[in-house]
Amino acid sequence: MSERIYIYKRYERFWHWSQALLIIAMMISGFEVHGSYVLLGFKKAVQLHTVAAWALITLWAFTIFWQFTTGEWRQYLPTLKNVMAMVRYYTIGIFSDAPHPFRKTAVQKHNPLQRLAYLALLAFISPLIWGTGIFYLFYGNWARLGLDQTLSLQTVAVLHTLGAYLITAFFFIHVYLTTTGHTIFAHIKAMITGWEDVDGKH
């Protein structure tokens, strides 16, 4: 038997889908800038990538403010409690209809494994891709700041590409995990409406 609870607030849903669209735009334009294919043309791809990057930075600034003023930042505090139970569920239990070891609530939306994944995103992948992206964007100012003596554009480009592959992997894993609810679109529907049917079997 399932229970219907309101999980995702209106701004949270707006932030989630806006971020998703901007990341998709940055992936498409970024890999074209990298030379993986030709779709928009190099100049338009650079423009789209830059505009999407600044839009995402602005969105994150508002979201960080929202997280701290509402207390939602607590949702991302990492914990090792029941991590192995989640690992066993995703590697074995999910294929044998085992009960889910974590029950979502309005104050605990993310399971322990998700919290560790978001910690990796915030502590490693995001600083890598944003730091190198800003260095890349302001390459023309390196000499004036003396950075050309310690950095090479090739190193920054390689590290930025590494970050791009990591965020792309994170994106597709995230999309796959949205299909692991009690129906294939249950989690996606919850992020559209805010309401989620939480299975009583745990």
User: pLDDT for 186-196, tens place per residue?
Assistant: 899 999 999 98
62-121: pLDDT as tens digits: 999 999 999 998 988 888 888 999 999 988 888 888 888 888 888 888 899 899 999 899
- Map out the domains of the chain as residue ranges: 2-199
144-199: pLDDT as tens digits: 888 877 888 899 999 999 999 999 999 999 999 888 888 889 899 999 999 988 76
Give buried/exposed letters for 10-41 (b at 16+ CB in 10 A, else e): eebbebeeeeeebbebbbbbbbbbeeeeeebe
Q: CA of 173: how far to CAs of 17, 92, 98, 170, in Å?
A: 16, 17, 21, 5
| Region 2-199: CATH code | 1.20.950.20
CA distance 199 to 202: 8
CA distance 167 to 125: 7
> Residue 108: exposed, middle, or buried by beta-carbon count in 10 A (0-12, 13-18, 19+)?
middle
Whole-model pTM: value is: 0.87
**pLDDT value of position 17:** 97
Does residue 202 have a pLDDT over 50?
A: no
